[in-house]
Structure formats: structure tokens, C-alpha cells
Amino acid sequence: MDSKKDKQVRLHDVQPGKDRFRAEVLSGLRKSQKELPSKYFYDERGSHLFERICTLDEYYIPRTEVSIMETYVGEMVELVGPRALLIEYGSGDCNKVRTLLNHLQEPVGYVPIDISREQLLRVTNDLASSYPELEVLPVCADYTSDFELPVPKQPSDRVVAYFPGSTISNFDPIPARHFLEHVAGVCGPDGALLIGVDLKKDLAVLHRAYNDSQGVTAAFNLNLLERINRELNCDFQLDWFEHYAFYNPREGRIEMHLVSLRDQTVHLDSVAIPFARGESIWTESSYKFNLDEFAQLAAAAGFKVGRVWTDEQQWFSVQYLVNAEGANSE
Ligand code: AVI
């Protein structure tokens, strides 16, 4: 029998295939405002670059969220209660969840869901050795699609979803509502969602966060083209595109683009995609909320805001959402 210390986790693999990747890339590049889905940033190199972004002084999100989690984790786990099944959407390096796992009372299982298979396997094996009593059930999937969740061996008292890092910021408003509705359905009437939500703030702070001085965010953005070249037989010339990120105050979001530096034609297999000089590919939006705006989005998806924790500067929030009609809503 395997010793508990070096137990290996079994991966539930529903990662989207190449065909879907190709179809989404082609349909995005055929639009009049060209676009690419930001979920494809996270191949192995993209995930490493994102980890580096998270260590930058200018990118305030991780350190602010960590400080909120460390300060208030006691209140959070009290709300979650014992024997919860914890589902993390977009688990990345699985570091943030450790603060919760260190304090939760007898969690019956942890389901990390991520699109990056290599990273998921690496980090969940480490996690399983750190928490030998915990059943770890990783799922490699695009968490915005429909797929079946693995069932833990032990029954749970409550299903709690965890969605840190303000990844909800990367959804446009309607997909954001649909995603939260889906999570509300997965958690059920007694369940809850613990979610990191980035807040509106000084524009200079926002600008620096997406235009860092070391160019890591630019490399992260351009890596998407490198990935497409490698995986889809495409011929983007990386130095003919430039990272461009700005805050759009009317829409309340950072927009990241890749701007073509010249007239050029890119080929994906035999499909020719023309670019005019100055034309951009929109690669990501990152919405910034005030507390009322987010409460409205949550309500539209069937959630009620149970508790909000913020840092002193009110740059970031962690919010505990409960089912608006469920048992915990009062
Ligand atoms: C994952 N997500 C919340 C990040 C953000 O801030 O929107 C992705 C990112 N893009 C550039 N820097 C970080």
C-alpha cells in the first residue's frame, strides 16, 4: 500500500482539446476587433510568468489578498464550518488555499480545477503530501465549461467554492453572471462561495500593475502568440506586436491588447489573417468593482453577500457569498 506521505493524486482530465483551441483562436481573429480568450494565457510558460507577475511590487493583488486572508481566516473558517468540500476554480499554484486548509475543520475533500495540466499535477502532488489526511481530487478542465465534479469518499456538510485572485475580473459582465450562477448551482442551497474581488482605485496604481517596469506582464501577454505558434502551426512574429494595457474608466476595466507594429499577414495553417499597423488583438479585460457593483452582480446570480473583508486602503476584498434563498442567508 502507498504510504500516506507520498500518496499520488489521480487526475480527472477534461482539458479542452486542440480543436477547440484552434476554433476559438480563429473565430477571435476573424472579428473586426480581433480578440483571443485570456484563459489560454496559462500554458506551462504562461503559468510561470503569471507566478512572476504575482511577486512584482507593482502587482498589488496577491500580497493584499494574502494579508486579508491571514488576518481574517479565523472568521472565514467559522462561517464555512466543519466537514466542508472545498472546490477551487482556477487553482494555479495552489498556494492561496493553504491558508484555508491550515484552519478548516476536518474538510472532507479539496477539488482544485485548473486548465494547466502540468502545473496541476505538480502542485497537487505536493499538496497531497502536505495534507495527508485530505482527499485531493484535481480536475484538469476549462472551469467555464460543463463537466462532472469528482465525488469525495466522505459525505460533506457543505460545499464551498473558493475563487481567489479576482479571476472573476477577467469575465465580461454576462459571462460573469453565468459563471456565478453555475457556481451557485454546484454549491447548492446550503453552500457558499469565498471569492476575491479587486476594487476600483487610484488609476496610477492600476496602470503600474499592468505595465510593470520589468516587462513581465508584456512577456505574459506575448506568450499567448508564442503558444499559438507552437501549438497551432501559426507564424506570429513576436517582435512585430507590442503589449498595450490601459484603464477604460467608462467600462471600469483594464484592457490588455497586443498591437501590430506594421501591416502584416499572419497564417494559421492555410488561413491568412491580415493586420493593419496599429490594429490590436484584445487579449484580456480585468474589471474593477466597487462593493455595490459586485453585490449587484452577485445578486443577479442568486448570491447574497454574507460578509466582506478588505485591506485598510480598500484596494481588494474577499467576500463570502451565500445562496440568496438558502438556509444560511439570514
Ligand atoms: C488572473 N487575473 C485576475 C489577473 C488580473 O489581474 O486580471 C491576470 C493578469 N493579467 C495581467 N496581469 C495579471
Contacts of 242 (CB under 8 A, 6+ apart): 218, 258, 259, 261
Q: Please report the pLDDT score of residue 1 as a whole number.
A: 43
For residue 286, the CA-to-ligand 1 centroid distance in Å is 7
Q: Which of 47, 50, 56, 255 for a ligand 1 pocket mutation test, highest count of atoms within 8 Å of Cβ? A: 50
Q: Please report the pLDDT score of residue 11 as a whole number.
A: 80
- Return the C-alpha cell found at 218: 508584456
For residue 98, the CA-to-ligand 1 centroid distance in Å is 21
* Cα first-last separation, the chain: 47
For residue 5, the CA-to-ligand 1 centroid distance in Å is 34
For residue 156, the CA-to-ligand 1 centroid distance in Å is 32
Q: Which of 59, 169, 199 for a ligand 1 pocket mutation test, highest count of atoms within 8 Å of Cβ? A: 169
Q: Which atom of ligand 1 is nearest to the CA of 61?
A: 6
Q: Which atom of ligand 1 is nearest to the CA of 254?
A: 7
DSSP 210-272: HS-TT-HHHHHHHHHHHHHHHHHTB---GGGEEEEEEEETTTTEEEEEEEESS-EEEEETTEE
User: Which tens digit of pLDDT belongs to each residue from 23-54?
Assistant: 999 999 999 999 999 999 988 899 899 999 99
For residue 59, the CA-to-ligand 1 centroid distance in Å is 9
**Taking CB atoms and a 6 Å cutoff, what residues make up the pocket around ligand 1?**
53, 61, 165-167, 169-170, 210, 217, 284, 286
For residue 153, the CA-to-ligand 1 centroid distance in Å is 35
Q: Please report the pLDDT score of residue 3 as a whole number.
A: 46
- Strand stretches in the chain, DSSP E: 12-14, 34-35, 84-89, 109-114, 139-141, 158-163, 192-198, 241-248, 253-260, 264-268, 271-275, 280-287, 303-310, 316-323
Q: Alpha-carbon distance 18 to 278, whole Å? A: 29
Q: Please report the pLDDT score of residue 327 as a whole number.
A: 62
Residue ID of nearest Cα to ligand 1 atom 4: 167
What does the H/E/C string look like for 150-172?
CCCCCCCCEEEEEECCCHHHHCC
Q: Which atom of ligand 1 is nearest to the CA of 220?
A: 11
Residue ID of nearest Cα to ligand 1 atom 2: 167
Q: Which atom of ligand 1 is nearest to the CA of 90?
A: 1
Are 317 and 310 contacting, i.e. CB atoms less than 8 angstroms apart? yes
Q: Which residues of the chain have pLDDT under 70?
A: 1-8, 16, 327, 329-330
- Return the C-alpha cell found at 13: 482530465
Q: Alpha-carbon distance 192 to 252, whole Å? A: 27
Are 112 and 88 contacting, i.e. CB atoms less than 8 angstroms apart? yes
Are 255 and 248 contacting, i.e. CB atoms less than 8 angstroms apart? yes
- Of 160, 4, 151, 44, whose CA–CA distance to 97 is shortest? 160
Q: Please report the pLDDT score of residue 329 as a whole number.
A: 66
Q: Alpha-carbon distance 186 to 156, whole Å? A: 13
Residue ID of nearest Cα to ligand 1 atom 5: 286
User: Which tens digit of pLDDT belongs to each residue from 45-97?
Assistant: 998 999 999 999 999 999 999 999 999 999 999 999 999 999 999 998 788 99
CA-based Rg of the chain, rounded to a whole angstrom? 20
DSSP 10: P
Q: Which of 201, 210, 288, 315 for a ligand 1 pocket mutation test, highest count of atoms within 8 Å of Cβ? A: 210
- Return the C-alpha cell found at 317: 476584498
Q: Please report the pLDDT score of residue 6 as a whole number.
A: 56
Q: Which of 41, 53, 199, 255 for a ligand 1 pocket mutation test, highest count of atoms within 8 Å of Cβ? A: 53
Q: Which of 143, 170, 283 for a ligand 1 pocket mutation test, highest count of atoms within 8 Å of Cβ? A: 170
Phi, psi of 324 (to 5 degrees): -60, -25
